[in-house]
């Protein structure tokens, strides 16, 4: 047998042996990029270890994909220190506002199907939003005036509807009386509510908002309202829509609104930054551990309700990076996925080179967000989870921890450490 034939035979055997693994992974497009610099990766290790060793962060799971393949994955520190549980790659985290991107994708799927329009009034789906009002500060007085126009789906996707979380001092009392704002944990929290999310959002529509539609970037209940719109337009509860149309097709088996009781030990405990910068265990209840295992399980908050692993969320982000497809599963057309991470709000979100698309903050100027490339996009969650997707570098960065409030800068330092290791 010739040397060439021997090499060919060995190659065929190798392909056959790895066929099942290859079939389970999405095909790569273009040339493979080099992984991170081995020497510089050590700096990432040191950055993460510093926060754990000095007692400011209990534990983290960090994951970096390049070309869809893990080039860095570490689970460090404690998932639950008091219970003696260490962090592992399959630890589950409350991802809070990282839910927003998934709900936004669900809305765009229904837009593709013609069930929703980009500029369609939200009042077509939730009657109380047909005519909304705005609270206007006038010296020491507050006037309630009619909205100048109807709130649209576009407004909600870009957080330009004028809707806050109801914790603003001049409307907080009104919201609290209706079980929203200060009455809902940190405003965005609804996991303890014993009612479907649409009932909560219908009540929200009767309250005054804090800016006229389209005039300002106001972060608030926008995506929770979109979650209700998903239910109205699809005829399915939000959890079932996301499960059947996004998480199950993409293989995100650990992304859910509530944790099965049998898996409670996989859920990381919530900690808080103490006055001395050291972490302390957060209390039970809405402003601490939350009701993600033993709650009523009725409110599916499209803006802040999901739990997930780092691997699951990275898979969703990789799907958007690749134009709405993962392997053989497509959830969005390439143009629609691109809308999610293209600035759709001009300078309303920021005047320093950051924009906001249909679900993600966008980097429109190099240097506006550390070392991230122009075209990168990302966001984070209230429990200190964070992520960045960089299409130019074909990378996905995910950092998961549970620290609320968080007085550290670990997220920024982690991103910088990853980018400095990118030398090829």
pTM: 0.91
Average per-residue pLDDT for the chain? 92
Query: What span, in angstroms and rounded, lies between the C-alpha atoms of 394 and 390?
Result: 6
Q: Helix 99-112 to helix 310-321 angle, to the nearest 10 degrees?
A: 40
Q: What is the pLDDT of residue 185?
A: 78
Task: Kindly indicate the confidence band of residue 33, based on its pLDDT and cuts at 50, 70 and 90.
Answer: low
Peptide bond into 405 cis (omega under 30): yes
Give the model confidence (pLDDT) of 279-316 as tens digits: 999 999 999 999 999 989 999 999 999 999 999 999 99
Give the model confidence (pLDDT) of 388-414 as tens digits: 999 999 999 999 999 999 999 999 999
Q: What is the pLDDT of residue 19?
A: 37
Mean pLDDT, residues 58-70: 97
Q: What is the pLDDT of residue 34?
A: 61
Question: Which phi and psi angles does 146 have, rounded to 5°?
Answer: -70, 150
Torsion angle defined by CA atoms of residues 191, 196, 198 and 202, in that order, rounded to the nearest 10 degrees: -90
For the cut 90, the answer to whether the pLDDT of residue 278 exceeds it is yes
Q: What is the pLDDT of residue 424?
A: 81
Instruction: Pick the closest to residue 44 from 29, 63, 27, 28 (CA basis).
Output: 63
Q: What is the pLDDT of residue 15?
A: 38
- Looking at the chain, the whole-number percentage of residues with pLDDT higher than 70 is 92
Query: What span, in angstroms and rounded, lies between the C-alpha atoms of 59 and 333?
Result: 37
Q: What is the pLDDT of residue 244?
A: 98
Query: What span, in angstroms and rounded, lies between the C-alpha atoms of 162 and 149?
Result: 12
At 399, list the tokens: 């950092």
Residue linked to tokens 């991103």: 415
Q: What is the pLDDT of residue 13?
A: 39
Question: Which phi and psi angles does 34 have, rounded to 5°?
Answer: -70, 150
Give the model confidence (pLDDT) of 316-363 as tens digits: 999 999 999 999 999 999 999 999 999 999 999 999 999 999 999 999
Q: Which residue has the higher pLDDT, 186 or 137?
A: 137
For the cut 80, the answer to whether the pLDDT of residue 25 exceeds it is no
Element (H, E) at 325: strand 325-326
Mean pLDDT, residues 186-197: 93
- Looking at the chain, the whole-number percentage of residues with pLDDT higher than 90 is 89
Give the model confidence (pLDDT) of 92-111 as tens digits: 999 999 999 999 999 999 99
- All structural domains of the chain, each given as residue ranges with its CATH number in brackets, are 38-99+238-420 (3.40.710.10), 103-234 (3.40.710.10)
Mean pLDDT, residues 188-202: 95
For the cut 90, the answer to whether the pLDDT of residue 29 exceeds it is no
């Amino acid at each position: 047998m010739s040397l060439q034939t021997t090499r060919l035979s060995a190659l065929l055997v190798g392909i056959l042996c790895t066929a099942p693994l290859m079939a389970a992974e999405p095909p790569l497009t273009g040339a493979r990029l080099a992984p991170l610099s081995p020497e510089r990766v050590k700096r990432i290790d040191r950055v993460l270890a510093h926060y754990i060793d000095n007692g400011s962060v209990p534990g983290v799971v960090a994951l970096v994909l390049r070309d869809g393949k893990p080039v860095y994955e570490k689970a460090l520190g404690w998932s639950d220190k008091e219970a003696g549980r260490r962090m592992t790659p399959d630890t589950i985290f409350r991802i809070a506002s990282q839910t927003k991107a998934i709900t936004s994708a669900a809305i765009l799927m229904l837009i593709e199907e013609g069930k929703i329009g980009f500029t369609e009034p939200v009042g077509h789906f939730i009657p109380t939003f047909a005519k909304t009002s705005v609270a206007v500060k006038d010296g020491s007085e507050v006037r309630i005036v009619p909205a100048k126009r109807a709130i649209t789906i576009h407004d909600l996707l870009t957080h330009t509807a004028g809707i806050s979380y109801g914790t603003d001092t001049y409307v907080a009392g009104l919201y609290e009386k209706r079980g929203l704002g200060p009455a809902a944990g940190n405003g965005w929290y609804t996991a303890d509510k014993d009612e479907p999310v649409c009932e909560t959002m219908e009540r929200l529509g009767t309250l005054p908002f804090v800016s006229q539609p389209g005039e300002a970037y106001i972060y608030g209940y926008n995506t929770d309202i979109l979650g209700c719109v998903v239910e109205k337009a699809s005829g399915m509860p939000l959890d079932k829509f996301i499960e059947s149309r996004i998480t199950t097709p993409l293989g995100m088996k650990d992304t859910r609104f509530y944790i099965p009781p049998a898996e409670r030990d996989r859920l990381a405990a919530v900690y808080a930054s103490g006055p001395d910068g050291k972490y302390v265990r957060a209390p039970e209840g809405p402003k601490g551990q939350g009701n993600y295992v033993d709650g009523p399980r009725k409110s599916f908050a499209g803006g802040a309700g999901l739990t997930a692993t780092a691997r699951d969320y990275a898979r969703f982000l990789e799907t958007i990076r690749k134009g709405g497809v993962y392997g053989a599963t497509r959830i969005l057309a390439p143009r629609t996925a691109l809308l999610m991470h293209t600035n759709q709000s001009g300078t309303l979100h920021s005047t320093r080179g950051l924009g906001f698309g249909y679900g993600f903050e966008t980097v429109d100027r190099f240097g506006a967000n550390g070392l991230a490339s122009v075209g990168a996009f990302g966001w984070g969650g209230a429990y200190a989870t964070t992520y960045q997707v960089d299409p130019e570098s074909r990378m996905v960065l995910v950092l998961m921890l549970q620290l609320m409030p968080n007085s550290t800068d670990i997220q920024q330092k982690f991103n910088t450490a990853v980018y400095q290791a990118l030398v090829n």
